[in-house]
Homo-oligomer: A and B are copies of this chain.
């Protein structure tokens, strides 16, 4: 069988005009609104303007599709938060403020991917959860590093378990996707969350001179 492995012929990649991306977008949207339990391949395909079998040209299975969408969401959140932390400079309080804002904005503002991952990452069958482990760990690394820096510089409140505090803060931010409605401005959520997190995490700044 001489297979004419001359596939992948030429200019544009073999994919259709963004069909794959459209499927991912639709998946993220359905996941973020209906939740994993009520997300079906059939409905995703229908919304994307396709019949269910067409999905299998781009993804090996439903789990693959969902995992790809959630992974993209987790990476998006991590990138935004990491970028915000990096841009904030050496001041850890400023860094935490920036990370809180970045997390909330990407989660509440625009991206169905971000909402999809925060709402569904922990409610997904094991096969998918495993694939998300690395992405999730990378995201937590960003927070861990900043809080470790804060601890070593003596800014954290005494008696605060840094790991537990991190999980609580991330939890508060993640849970926002469950209750946020556009009737509340994102700005006010950001402002309140920043105040809460900063005051909760850090030693009160010394009003007078040195430590």
Where the two chains meet, the residues of A that have a C-beta atom closer than 8 Å to any C-beta of B are: 35-38, 119-120, 122-125, 157, 159-161, 163-165, 167-176, 178-179, 184, 188-189, 191-193, 195-197, 199-201, 204
How many copies of the chain does the oligomer comprise?
A: 2
Known A167-B176, A171-B178, A179-B171: A195·B35 in contact at CB below 8 Å: no
Known A169-B172, A171-B172: A197·B195 in contact at CB below 8 Å: no
Q: Which residues of B have CB within 8 Å of A38?
A: 125
A38 and B172 alpha carbons, distance in the complex (Å): 25
Q: Which residues of B have CB within 8 Å of A122?
A: 35, 119, 178
Known A125-B38, A157-B195, A172-B172: A188·B204 in contact at CB below 8 Å: no
Q: Tell me if A37 and B123 are in contact (CB < 8 A).
A: yes
Known A196-B200, A197-B200: A175·B174 in contact at CB below 8 Å: yes
Determine chain A's interface SS by DSSP, over half rule: helix
A161 and B35 alpha carbons, distance in the complex (Å): 28
Known A200-B195, A200-B196: A168·B160 in contact at CB below 8 Å: no
Q: Which residues of B have CB within 8 Å of A174?
A: 171, 175
Q: Tell me if A164 and B178 are in contact (CB < 8 A).
A: no
| 26 CB-based A-B contacts, threshold 8 Å | A35-B124, A36-B37, A36-B123, A37-B37, A37-B123, A159-B191, A159-B192, A160-B195, A161-B188, A161-B192, A164-B188, A164-B192, A164-B193, A165-B192, A165-B196, A168-B193, A168-B196, A169-B172, A171-B171, A171-B172, A171-B175, A171-B176, A171-B178, A174-B175, A196-B201, A204-B204
